[in-house]
Structure 1
Amino acid sequence: MAGKKLNVVVTRRLPEAVETRMSELFNVRLRDSDVAMSREELAAALREADVLVPCVTDRIDAALLAHAGPQLRLIANYGAGVDQIDVATARQRGIVVSHTPGVLSEDTADMTMALILGVLRRLPEGLQDMASGNWQGWSPMAHLGRRISGLRLGILGMGQVGLAVARRARAFGMQIHYHNRRRLRPEVEGSVEATYWESLDQMLARMDVISVNCPHTPSTFHLLSARRLKLLKPSAVIVNTSRGEVIDENALLRGLKAGEIAGAGLDVFEHGHEITPGLRDLSQVVLLPHMGSATLEGRVEMGEKVILNIKTFADGHRPPDRVIPGML
């Protein structure tokens, strides 16, 4: 495709700076409205595009990929995760998949700490009291939360985001523990004074806070299952800024309602934007609309990665952030 100006279809609105640069480099069809494409619209885009730029809300499965025209050779995902794309089927059809890793770690870690503080210090309840006009003044026993310093934080998935969370939590005086597919190098582990747990079950039983920072793959689906959630101390809280499918959301709800889990802070949900009924009603739960990576700087950097992947591909080279099934 070297030398050809590619036809690029973007499925969602992106920051103006990103859209402007794409328009300069490619024959780009941008999205006018900031809503997800329907399945029919996605199928039409696959038929006409040389490059598709989808987002996390776009499920590109095998059935949809069957609509792809012979000219489609790159799916340049606007996002770090690609669990919504059937990468194996895309590869079989000769379609390269790329993503945007590494640019959202700091933003997501910031939101993880915000949720930890929000749950443990009961910030939503305080905000609600102020907004409703119900606050009657300071009281020694009102809104009692937990002191962050000294609590044990168990990080599930110690990649770039997990390490960024560890650095922040360490500054708050938390004790850092983690479970990972592979143990970190000693110098990395030492930089955040982290303790490695080979057994996830043993770690869960001893932590005050669990932070989910692993991707969603077949092996991590419901990794925090009903059985594992039962291992948590009744005083423990769970925070998830990664992928909702890692937690059995129904089991989490049952544990929260029964007092077997003290609280939860969720920025992602098992069924996308459909939240398990009952979670909204619990005062010890903080829910956010998948905004962990929502900073202008992060969104622009994501766009820059997408553009680099497309331009490298257009020049006849492998995109620097190419995804292959074995990576997942």
Structure 2
Amino acid sequence: MEDEGLPAVLVSGFGGPGGVCEDHLGELRKHFNLIGMQEFVGNKTHLGAKIRAVLIWGGKPAVTEELLRSLPALSVVASAGAGLDHLDLKLIASFGVKVANTPDAVSSPTADLGMALLLAAARRVVEGHQVAISPDTENFAMNWMGQEVTGATLGIVGMGSIGYRIAQRAQAFDMKILYHNRRRRKTEEEDAVGATYCERLDDLLQQSDFVMVAVSLTPQTRGLIGRRELRLMKPTAILVNIGRGLVVDQDALLQALQTGVIKAAALDVTHPEPLPRDHPLLKLKNIILTPHIGSATHQARRQMMENLVESILASLNGLPIPNEVLLK
């Protein structure tokens, strides 16, 4: 039974692939009266007037103008994760509603995954696993080789909190670190990780053995890595994308992987997600794909939930909102 005395919060659903994690429901229900979208749609007039916050998990529910008009008491939209490309911030602000996200919770696990993908692609871990377990394998080829990571040049596209943590990890591999960002980091921050700023993305692409894409999706970054950019990369280079699928032109990437323009790729993000089951990227041997699991650790998801609770409660009590997203 939900506690009707608690503030009402709209969520996509409970459990399953698109709902709030079942492990978190007990804690959430200590603070909120959770209302699923199915229940809300069945009784909009009554429930709409009660809902004070929308909690977005996995990009759902979608915050549309129709939804905002149906929630006159709405105070805050709290979205799990760092990315905001699923939200129309100007539209939400026009209704006097605030937005919060959880960037700190996702930075370290996403950086961990970025390095995992880089290492897996470099050393052909997935291909090697298939060779090792294949019933047709009779011996291991001495000349079956991958790329060396230690001492290689890593180009990080997007030196935000995730990109910076990647640089910290890459230091342990004695990598030469280049980065391209909207704004240059402070000198002391660069020195701390041994990173060199590339004002021109082209310079980074031409010099890097590995290119790690860690930018959020904006109108400026959509299609940032396209046919021209891929051709600037070394033919031995490996592309890793942990940002958003639309930052990379997938048709151009497919052609680059098929024709040897670059050596390999590892993607945690695509567009759409998942890719259609007959998509040609799925048939390539020189690509690794993971199902958008950058923040998918028990610890990170727990912290995300706690951050969302904190932000919603702050908003409802008229306090400063942790991780409030300010409209630029």
Superposition deviation, residue 49 in structure 1: 2.6
Q: Partner residue of 1:91?
A: 93
Q: In structure 2, how many angstroms separate the alpha carbons of the residues matched to 1:273 and 1:306?
A: 26
Q: Partner residue of 2:15?
A: none
Q: In structure 2, how many angstroms separate the alpha carbons of the residues matched to 1:42 and 1:205?
A: 55
1:18 equivalent in alignment to 2:20: no
Identity, in percent, stands at 34
SS at 2:156 equivalent: strand
Q: Partner residue of 1:182?
A: 183
1:242 equivalent in alignment to 2:243: yes
Determine which of 282, 294, 303 is the counterpart of 1:301: 303
Residue-by-residue CA offset, 1:257-277 (whole Å, 9 max, x unaligned): 111011000000132323582
Q: Give 5+ residue unaligned stretches, structure 1.
A: none
SS at 1:57 equivalent: coil
Q: Is the 8 A contact 2:75 2:316 kept in 1?
A: no
Q: 1:205 to 1:22 in 2, by over 3 A?
A: same
Q: In structure 2, how many angstroms separate the alpha carbons of the residues matched to 1:47 and 1:273?
A: 36
Q: In structure 1, how many angstroms separate the alpha carbons of the residues matched to 2:233 and 2:62?
A: 36
Determine which of 96, 119, 123 is the counterpart of 1:121: 123
Q: Partner residue of 1:74?
A: 76
Q: In structure 2, how many angstroms separate the alpha carbons of the residues matched to 1:257 and 1:215?
A: 27
Q: Give 5+ residue unaligned stretches, structure 2.
A: 13-17
Q: What are the equivalent positions in structure 2 for 1:194-205 lying under 5 Å apart?
A: 194-205=195-206
Q: In structure 1, how many angstroms separate the alpha carbons of the residues matched to 2:112 and 2:120?
A: 12
Q: Partner residue of 1:170?
A: 171
Q: Partner residue of 1:269?
A: 270
Deviates more, 1:235-244 or 1:272-281: 272-281
Q: Is the 8 A contact 1:312 1:318 kept in 2?
A: yes
Q: Partner residue of 1:321?
A: 323
Report how many residues are paired: 318
Determine which of 258, 266, 291 is the counterpart of 1:289: 291
Superposition deviation, residue 175 in structure 1: 1.0
Residue-by-residue CA offset, 1:144-200 (whole Å, 9 max, x unaligned): 101111211000011111111111111012111100111111111011111110000
Q: Is the 8 A contact 2:76 2:99 kept in 1?
A: yes
Structure with the larger RCO, 1 or 2 (CA within 8 Å, 6+ apart): 1
Deviates more, 1:221-230 or 1:149-158: 221-230
CA RMSD of aligned residues (A): 2.6
Superposition deviation, residue 71 in structure 1: 1.6
Q: 1:196 to 1:119 in 2, by over 3 A?
A: same
Q: In structure 2, how many angstroms separate the alpha carbons of the residues matched to 1:247 and 1:40?
A: 40
AA of the residue aligned to 1:213? A
SS at 2:288 equivalent: strand
SS at 1:29 equivalent: strand
Q: Is the 8 A contact 2:212 2:239 kept in 1?
A: yes
Superposition deviation, residue 67 in structure 1: 4.5
Q: Is the 8 A contact 1:129 1:135 kept in 2?
A: yes
Q: 1:59 to 1:175 in 2, by over 3 A?
A: farther
Q: 1:17 to 1:132 in 2, by over 3 A?
A: same
AA of the residue aligned to 1:290? H
1:213 equivalent in alignment to 2:219: no
Superposition deviation, residue 228 in structure 1: 1.4
Determine which of 136, 139, 155 is the counterpart of 2:138: 136
AA of the residue aligned to 2:219? P
AA of the residue aligned to 1:302? M
Q: 1:133 to 1:179 in 2, by over 3 A?
A: same
SS at 1:50 equivalent: strand
Q: In structure 1, how many angstroms separate the alpha carbons of the residues matched to 2:44 and 2:157?
A: 34
Superposition deviation, residue 13 in structure 1: 3.6
SS at 2:104 equivalent: coil
Q: What are the equivalent positions in structure 2 for 1:27-106 lying under 5 Å apart?
A: 27-29=33-35, 49-58=51-60, 60=62, 62-65=64-67, 67-106=69-108
Superposition deviation, residue 291 in structure 1: 1.0
